[in-house]
Structure 1
């Protein structure tokens, strides 16, 4: 039997029909199986987790059959309680399937610490600018000591404690400058 005769035969057309039917059954079976195993029609609305502690978040998500992962802690935000959720992904109101992970960003317990640099011998303006740029606040009630240099930094204080180079303070702390009065020897 030649190739042309085989292509015109009834056997060839029966085999093509069987192949098409098997392929269609496979595609529809795969589509049905994926719909069942991936919970295609399931929708769980993500709750708003902002300002909740991790214990409250875990309890709330467990009720909905969802999981959580802490991915980061942001810069301290005084508007939120310590160690509570600031951001979440997916957002509140989005729809997800069961066992989906909700990624959380938490509020740290305090501002990050700033390391005090050596400012001895700098002018009041230089020291104030550097401290503000680092995230500290400078009190305008200066303490003056007997020194030959007028308005030259001779030390720093925080809550009436003398600060040294390398000490750490929380961001936004208010420091006092100890300056020379220009009347020394």
Structure 2
């Protein structure tokens, strides 16, 4: 029997139909497994984790069958509690599948410390912008008799003298002690020390 005639026999057609049926069945099984494996059609809404502690985050995500991964902390934000979630990805309200990992950033416990530069014998015009650029606030300005007016004689924090190189938290209020040549000619001790606030009043 020739090969061409064999193609039209009942035996060949029967095996061909069986092969086609087997392939279709395998395709359906594969698609069903793939749908189950990828959680096709499943949607879990990501909760808002902002301002929550890690313990609270884990409790919420565990209930939703989600996971979390902690990434680098952001800069300190005083509007968020220390060590609370400040950023998350995916964002709150997005829909994800089961076991999805949520990336979060925590708010640091406080502002970072910054070293005090050596501003002694610098002018007030130089000192104030330098301190503000480093994240500090300028508080009271006190004047003392000195040959150079508006020259920085001391830096103080909460009444204590600060040495150059010391570290303070950002946003700390630093008071300036400046020289005033006009005070050299005053004889009365009570007039030897004058103070103004940060606005110059």
TM-score band (shorter)?
A: 0.7 to 0.9
SS at match of 2:150: strand
The structure-2 alpha-carbon separation of the partners of 1:58 and 1:148, relative to structure 1 and needing over 3 Å to count, comes to: same
Out of 7, 15, 19, the position equivalent to 1:10 is 7
SS at match of 1:126: helix
Q: Find the aligned partners of 1:114 and 1:149 in 2 and give their Cα distance.
A: 28
Per the alignment, residue 31 of structure 2 pairs with: 31
Per the alignment, residue 93 of structure 1 pairs with: 93
Q: Find the aligned partners of 1:156 and 1:149 in 2 and give their Cα distance.
A: 16
Task: List gaps (5 residues or longer) in structure 2.
Answer: 185-201
Greater Rg over alpha carbons, structure: 2
The structure-2 alpha-carbon separation of the partners of 1:77 and 1:16, relative to structure 1 and needing over 3 Å to count, comes to: same
The structure-2 alpha-carbon separation of the partners of 1:149 and 1:9, relative to structure 1 and needing over 3 Å to count, comes to: farther
Per the alignment, residue 125 of structure 2 pairs with: 125
The structure-2 alpha-carbon separation of the partners of 1:179 and 1:30, relative to structure 1 and needing over 3 Å to count, comes to: same
Cα distance, 1:30 vs. partner? Answer: 2.9
CA RMSD of aligned residues (A): 2.6
Q: Find the aligned partners of 2:150 and 2:82 in 1 and give their Cα distance.
A: 39
Q: Could you state the TM-score of these two structures normalised by the residue count of structure 2?
A: 0.77
**Residue 103 (structure 1) aligned with residue 108 (structure 2):** no
Q: Find the aligned partners of 2:5 and 2:148 in 1 and give their Cα distance.
A: 109
Cα distance, 1:82 vs. partner? Answer: 1.3
Q: Could you state the TM-score of these two structures normalised by the residue count of structure 1?
A: 0.83
Q: Give the length in aligned residue pairs.
A: 179
Per the alignment, residue 51 of structure 1 pairs with: 51
SS at match of 1:119: coil
- 1:26-82 CA distances to partner (integer Å, 9 max, x unpaired)? 544432221111111221111111111111111111111111111122121111111
